[in-house]
Chains A and B, each alone.
Chain A
Amino acid sequence: MDQIINDLSHHIRLNKGFFLWMGFLALAFLACLYAYVQQLRYGLGVAGIRDYISWGLYISNFVFFVASSLIGMLISAVLGLIGLKWVQPITRIAETIAVAFAAVAGLVIVMDMGRPERLAYVFLYARFQSPILWDVTVITTYFVISLLLLFLPMIPDMAVLYKRFGNLPGWLKPVYKVLSLNWTDHPEQNRIIHRSMYILLILIIPAALSIHTVTSWLFALTVRPGWDSTIFGPYFVSGAFVAGSAAVIIAMFFFRKNYKLQDYLTDLHFNNMGKVLVLVAFVYLYFNINEYLVPGYKLKRADAIHLRELMSGHFAITFWLVQVGGLLIPIALMLFRKMRRPLPLTLISVVVLIAAWFKRYLIVVPTLAHPFLPIQHVPDNFRVYTPTLTEIAITLLSFILVLIIITLISKFFPVIPVVETAKEKGLDPLKSNES
């Protein structure tokens, strides 16, 4: 038992590597924060977005963040409720990613507001008809459920570590004590926590489906070619699982290496996550075919312009890199067992994740670049969207925030559930007479 506790918790300490990494993140954060201060002072004009292409990096990034956060639901709820035992060590990683991305997604949308100081108006003058209100509601709900799903299984862990982990940093002890909520492993406590987990795991499925469906509706509820689609909901949800699975695989790889968790995050877990990624990528491919082939066959005038711009026009290079390099080739590669080993799978996941980001860009920008009526008598930067450095820095700011949140959660709490792992092996973590 001590072995498990030590293996899963030895990374919980303040070491040089942590300070270096956090220092780097903090510096990068401050640099990018300066960019946002510029935007607050001079307006959204510091970004490259203009009257026609009025949604750019920020909104693409928002969609990507909401997408990535969806993985918490897939791993914990869907795979967990089916009863797949192997997902158990990954659940906390998935929930951490869900919480981090969902929390920052809310900030990303504020970064896109022309008047961020009027944020409260969204609640003060809330209009039920507006999909933005639906989005705010479901994202908040999803964030709260994800946070609970992260926290509840951690309660027994903290009680155990508080009692039995000698190396727990002194300043963390009171935090653990408070957060463990007097956990004594009493049967009644276990009953309550299992029951709540069960309810939350079921609740998070509709919540997760809602957040990304509603996010897709921000586009699909308009009449613009490229957005005016009835399959945008499932198209976005399946794409979200691709991005999220890739993010989880990358996180698994780093935790395994940095926190020396090779015995707990084994090749089997990577192999299985690789299979999950292939599966969701196939589903996404199916929706992609629907999304492009159906209007492409009919070629209504506005759709034809949109598709031509994507496939052979201004966005062609990005489009084919994303579709072939970021979806088709990874699927083909991951069909082979060798490619689902940790290192190659992680490399593939990095490519998939980057492609997933650009895919959001390809959904948001090209449609706006080709409205129904011609764009005339305006400066050139109104016609062609080029993100500015300030805009890129502000986008990076959101990524840095996600990394900070993931780093803090994973550094100060066990990445892999301790008590569940112990119980899996038939050990009772709160009784000290076992080894």
Chain B
Amino acid sequence: MDENTVNNRDEQDPSKSSRRNFLKNIGLLGAGVAAGAGALYSGDIFEKKKAATGESKVLLTQDNKLVEVDSLELKALAKNPTKLMLEKGREGIEGRRWVMVIDLSKCRNARRCIAACQEAHQLKPEQYHLNTLQMQDSPGTAPYHMPKNCQHCDNPPCVAVCPVDATYKRGDGIVLIDNERCIGCRFCMAACPYSARIFHWTSPKDSDKHNGEAYNVELNVPQKLGTISKCLFSADRCREGKLPYCVSACPNGVYYFGDENEDAVTNGTTKETVRLSKLLRDNGAYQLMPELGTKPRVYYLPPKNRLFPFEPATDESPKEG
């Protein structure tokens, strides 16, 4: 509309029109020269830089795609890395519904899962994101070992009671804790019927060594004094498309981990991928205290047909460190 009126006026006044065109042409020429010079100059810089480094890197993007990027184009983000990870950690991995299956008939209390977990999350020996408990449901039934971690409930009582939204439920089913937010009231510990949560009563393991490192909310590392920690379903490994630390570490094929949406879980020891619904159906899977309405995301397969004798745990309780 505006252009039309301008054009109309130009037609009415040819002298004005030619002056305008002249100025326009000069301007275009100037811009062209400047752009060309700029391009030459930056090309020159680019060539110089390329000559200096010129290697490409393979990187994993947030949506789990591998991309190849020239190292020249890499630059550090100005944003605080802790903050960046906190934001990312709130979102979850799109389209996934992580689920764990624990086959009690295979568990021999090797406790390698615990070691791997404590190593990854910088935990002391008495701090468990995952603990194997010696269970016996009633005097007449057989004892068994039961790995017990956070059940990542779909109706999590811990998340409900948190006053500051420090612990939260993600779209992919994982319940996480933001240790930069946690005020240490321990209401979530009181609310959790599975005793899944631990608290840093004293300085976390090697805290002086890790002091100042960027905090990774998907790993709860570095652990922070006066805040809560617990099993994270190895959210950092999930993002990389790998199995959780405990699942990979098990020597006896106890753990399956996978995506409910895909209806597929992978055994951490055999690396065999099976159909989740079939595994649960064929083995009489159950959940821990489902009557509490917490809707856990961890399934247990009953300890039947065990191919080894039950050996009671030697109760070597770790000393407080």
Contacts and interface: CB of A to CB of B under 8 A. Distances in A.
Contact of B195 (A129, A130, A218, A371): A371
B163 A133 contact: yes
A112 B186 CA distance: 9
B133 A374 contact: yes
A224 interface: yes
A372 B135 CA distance: 12
A134 B288 CA distance: 31
Max chain B Cβ within 10 angstroms of own Cβ: one of A119, A132, A381: A132
22 contacts: A43-B202, A44-B201, A44-B226, A54-B189, A113-B184, A114-B183, A115-B183, A115-B226, A118-B182, A121-B164, A126-B163, A127-B164, A130-B162, A130-B187, A368-B190, A371-B193, A373-B133, A374-B134, A376-B313, A377-B131, A378-B318, A381-B320
B65 interface: no
B317 A43 contact: no
Interface string A343-372: 000000000000000000000000010011
A129 B160 contact: yes
A5 B165 CA distance: 55
Contacts of B128: 377-378
Interface stretch (A45-53, A146-154, A179-187, A273-281): A45-53
Interface of B: 126-128, 131-135, 148, 157, 160-166, 181-187, 189-191, 193-195, 197-203, 225-227, 288-289, 292, 313, 315-320
B188 to A, nearest CB: 10
A91 B103 CA distance: 65
A389 interface: no
A49 B183 CA distance: 17
A43 B164 contact: no
Nearest to B148: A373
Contact of B163 (A50, A130, A219, A222): A130
Contacts of B198: 51
A361 B320 CA distance: 25
Contact of A223 (B135, B165, B184, B193): B193
A329 interface: no
A317 interface: no
A379 B127 CA distance: 10
Interface in A116-141: 118-119, 121-122, 124-127, 129-133
A375 B195 contact: yes
A47 B317 CA distance: 21
Contacts of A372: 193-195, 289
Contact of A121 (B127, B160, B183, B315): B183
B161 A131 contact: yes
Contacts of A221: 161, 191
Contacts of A113: 183-185, 226
Contacts of B313: 376-377
B162 to A, nearest CB: 6
A372 B128 CA distance: 17
A127 B162 contact: yes
Contact of B157 (A118, A119, A222, A376): A222
A132 B201 contact: no
A34 interface: no
Contacts of B193: 222-224, 371-372
Contact of B190 (A121, A224, A378): A224
A114 B200 contact: yes
B225 A43 contact: yes
A50 B160 contact: no
Sorted nearest first, the 10 A-B pairs with minimum C-beta distance are: A114-B184, A114-B226, A45-B201, A45-B202, A132-B163, A130-B163, A125-B164, A115-B184, A379-B320, A118-B183
B225 to A, nearest CB: 5
A49 B320 contact: no
A287 interface: no
A127 B185 contact: no
A122 B133 contact: no
Contact of B315 (A45, A222, A373, A377): A377
Given A132-B161, A376-B313, A377-B315, 18 more contacts: A42-B202, A44-B184, A51-B127, A51-B197, A54-B186, A113-B183, A118-B183, A118-B184, A119-B183, A130-B162, A132-B187, A222-B190, A373-B288, A376-B131, A376-B134, A378-B128, A378-B317, A379-B319
A232 to B, nearest CB: 14
Interface string A187-222: 000000000000000000000000000000011011
B134 A125 contact: no
A379 B317 contact: yes
Contacts of A133: 163
A113 to B, nearest CB: 5
B173 to A, nearest CB: 20
Contacts of A42: 202-203
A434 interface: no
Nearest to B197: A51
B183 A373 contact: no
Contacts of A259: none
Contact of A43 (B203, B289, B315): B203
A326 to B, nearest CB: 26
A54 B162 CA distance: 15
Max chain A Cβ within 10 angstroms of own Cβ: one of B195, B315, B318: B195
A45 B184 CA distance: 12
Nearest to B289: A372
B231 to A, nearest CB: 14
A431 B160 CA distance: 61
B194 A373 contact: yes
B164 A122 contact: yes
Nearest to A133: B163
A125 B161 contact: no
Given A43-B200, A130-B162, A379 B195 contact: no
